[in-house]
Amino acid sequence: MKRRKVALALGGGGARGCAHIGVLKVLERANIPIDMIVGSSIGAVIGAIYAKHKNAKSVEQRFKEFLKSEEYLKSGLDLFKRKEPVENFFGQVATHIRQRIVVNLAQSKLSLVGGQRLRRAMEFLIPEGRIEETRLPFYPVASDILGGHQVVFKEGDMREIVGASASIPGFLPPYEVNGHLLVDGSVVCPIPVEPARELGADIVIAVDVGQDLNQNPDLDNVISIIFQTNHMTARHYNLHLLKQATVVIRPNVGLVHWSEFKLLNYMIEEGERVTEEALSKVRKAVGRQKSLWEKILPSF
């Protein structure tokens, strides 16, 4: 009987997506067959590296090199994390003025920061080459900002297309690729389960690294209310998409800010932990039992 086709759907979430590396390490150690990777945003970045080398440790090493690189230092990623609200009057005034400046700048710019800095950082991570030439079939997903639909790529320049898939709206300008004006794949496809099904996958292992909904938000200004309601919509949509997955792996990284790449080790370990816990479900789904050798030496 022909083996069913297995897809790994890697979702978006910025730095939280580093947990995907831990997931890949465990699936690789367990010899779980993966026939394709479909990725949105950071899921596309990690998927691209893995699809090219088919080695989870090479993905981990690339991210460690990134954190030591000039590209990371110059990217300004550390500056994006929102600070806790200030308590004193002058601090509140400064925060209000800063927010007004950002709003005014946003009316005349395509992105709030210089796109080239983040693009260089992404290019450091994204391997050169073409999508259709990877060792493992790989399909990055981006969002068409004009048509409002997802675009799933089966061929093309790796850096250009994966860069588009990870182009965070507001922080990076849109990419123009093959007549499409593209932004982050997570906008319309935060967890690419549907594209994986459409590409012929019988079994979809979905990895959700979306942001947790803040249960105790500080709703004392318009921006906070907009953020909270957007998170509600995104979380609801994520849960809807995950219903179509065969197995869902959700690392406990939902409280990590999207820019905190320095928590790389924690996120990889968390990805490994939850995937180890889910291995029995994964094995059952793909119809693979432990070998005698794995039963004798489960940690190797």
Q: Could you list the active site residues?
A: 41, 184
Please state, in angstroms and rounded to a whole number, the distance separating the CA atoms of residues 75 and 121: 6
CB 10 within 8 A of CB 207: yes
CA atoms within 13 A on the CB side of 129: 14
Please state, in angstroms and rounded to a whole number, the distance separating the CA atoms of residues 29 and 279: 11
Taking alpha carbons only, the member of 109, 122, 43, 111 closest to residue 75 is 122
Please state, in angstroms and rounded to a whole number, the distance separating the CA atoms of residues 20 and 209: 8
Angle between helices 42-53 and 115-125 (to 10 degrees): 30
Backbone angles phi, psi at 30, to 5 degrees: -85, 0
The amino acid occupying position 134 is T
> What 3-state class would DSSP assign to 118?
helix
